[in-house]
Amino acid sequence: MRDLSGVDSMFLALESRTNLFQVGAVSVLDPATAPDGAPAPHAALQQVLAGRLDRLGPMRRRLVPVPGDVDNPRWVEGEPDLDRHVRRGALPAPGSERELAAYAADVLARPLDRDRPLWEIHVVEGLDGGLVAGVAKLHHSIIDGVGGAELTAQLMDLTPEVPAASPSPARGAEPAPGAVAMLAAAARHGPGRALQAGRVTLRMTSRALALRRRNRRPGSVHPPAPFAGPRTSLCAPVGPERSVGMVQVDRADVEAVREATGVTVNDVVLYLAGSALREHLARRDELPERPLVAFVPRSTRGPATSLEEGVNSLSGMLASLATDVADPLARLLTLAESAAAAKDQERVLGEDLLADLAGLVPPAVLSRVGGLTRAAGLTTRRPPFSVVVSSFPGSPVPLYCAGAELVAYYPFGPVIDGAALNITASSYRDRIGFGMLACRDAFPPGDMDALGRHLVESMGELVKTVTAPGAPRGRRPQSRRGGP
């Protein structure tokens, strides 16, 4: 048995019927590379999971809430029923990418059963070309983006040869703690939480003063403040349905831009998201004068943080998407400067800020505050940011699952009231896959298709801009690493 961290518990406490804190991915695989005689894809994945569960802690644990939600829930170990967690699906052959997107949208729109380990994988057959897709859904309380990539890697091999099956040793079901014991533990945590609140308050005050001194320096750039972004159709309340978009760009194009301008890969990802949204809003005659603001989750997972721990190691920052700048190169450099300032601010405030704040409030209070905020529509009337955009690196070499070659990978993050669109990107081999998840009311499938086209077109436009003969060379904004 183990306690959930404050961040993990927060994702559960703030969840509602429509605001689902779930992450996911679509993995497209080619079973033609599997050895002769390999089982069907659904059975093959079950065999892989059965043999590797001892390495997949987040997939073995079941949630046990504390009575009254007066303290963070507990995880207890168990053996998941793979028939319930690994589902078999199919598209009418030959299934198109748009049909796969609709299937994934339906999966990601449904909440996970909290009485079982919080994950599902749907093995979808019938794709065009004989391909198969794995549509994975995991609760954010058990994994973050980088942890999800690590979990995917644990299910993969570097060659199509399938290792001999050796089921993990049976662990048996860990008994759930009793209500009295959990309430007693919660009572013991109370004084510690009060002391922690005092320490966090002092630390935040000191860091806020340091940030204020830093921002007074001549020429300092300030990232956007919370609630400073414009109100657009992206800030809609989230309904029960989802739409999904999946597109890819060449890593070589991203590298060409990076080398020509000195910006980071993450800056290019932000540029593509912002440029696609700029075009989307302009076509709706809705482009605001103020720039859109992205919330950018950042992993703080260190080498000592293992997948077996299954905890979220997250920070985050706000960055301008410079959607008020018409010129592509100027937009990229303006955006990169905002992102550099946001990273500096994050260093001053501390990467542990989110974890500190999440650990101060018991789930019952968080849940109540979240419900009141949704009911009052506070985050839709004055959104803290416009969109969530994140990226993380994936494998540069080919991967195989049960002998089937992974040919494309698209990750997805959650959407919430006030930020009805999430754009997440991950590299794999020579491509970067963008998974776009949105509330269907805010982004119907047709709009999502157009957004994907705008993103790909923005990549081509930027490459032409920075590689044309005589093109001006930008300069990456220098990160201000000095002390306060």
Q: Where are the domains of the chain?
A: 2-164, 224-391+416-467
Contact between 275 and 328 (Cβ < 8 Å): yes
Catalytic (active-site) positions: 140
Whether 481 has a pLDDT exceeding 50, the answer reads: no
- The size of the chain, in residues, is 484
pLDDT at site 478: 43
Fold classification of 224-391+416-467 is: Chloramphenicol Acetyltransferase (3.30.559)
Among the ranges given (105-109, 256-260, 358-362), the one the predictor scored with the smallest mean pLDDT:
358-362
Taking each helix axis from N to C terminus, what angle separates 265-283 and 251-261, rounded to the nearest 10 degrees? 100
Q: What are phi and psi of 418, to 5 degrees?
A: 95, -15
d(CA 90, CA 133): 9
| Cα-based torsion angle of the residue sequence 337, 482, 222, 438 in order, rounded to the nearest 10 degrees | 60
Over the stretch 284-297, which tens digit does the pLDDT of each residue have?
999 999 999 999 98
Mean pLDDT within 333-349: 81
Can you tell me whether residue 218 is helix, strand or coil?
coil
pLDDT at site 352: 66
Over the stretch 177-199, which tens digit does the pLDDT of each residue have?
888 888 888 887 776 666 666 66
Can you tell me whether residue 23 is helix, strand or coil?
strand
Q: Following DSSP, what letter does each residue of 96-143 receive, concatenated?
A: -HHHHHHHHHHHHHSPP-TTS-SEEEEEEEEEGGG-EEEEEEEETTT-
Over the stretch 363-375, which tens digit does the pLDDT of each residue have?
999 899 999 999 9
pLDDT at site 341: 87
d(CA 74, CA 141): 11
Among 249, 211, 223, which residue's Cα sits nearest to residue 459? 249
d(CA 413, CA 145): 8
Contact between 245 and 433 (Cβ < 8 Å): no
CATH superfamily placement of domain 2-164: Chloramphenicol acetyltransferase-like domain (3.30.559.10)
Whether 465 has a pLDDT exceeding 50, the answer reads: yes
Phi-psi region of 129 (alpha: psi -120 to 50; beta: other; left: phi over 0): left
pLDDT at site 431: 98
Domains 2-164 and 224-391+416-467 share a fold: yes
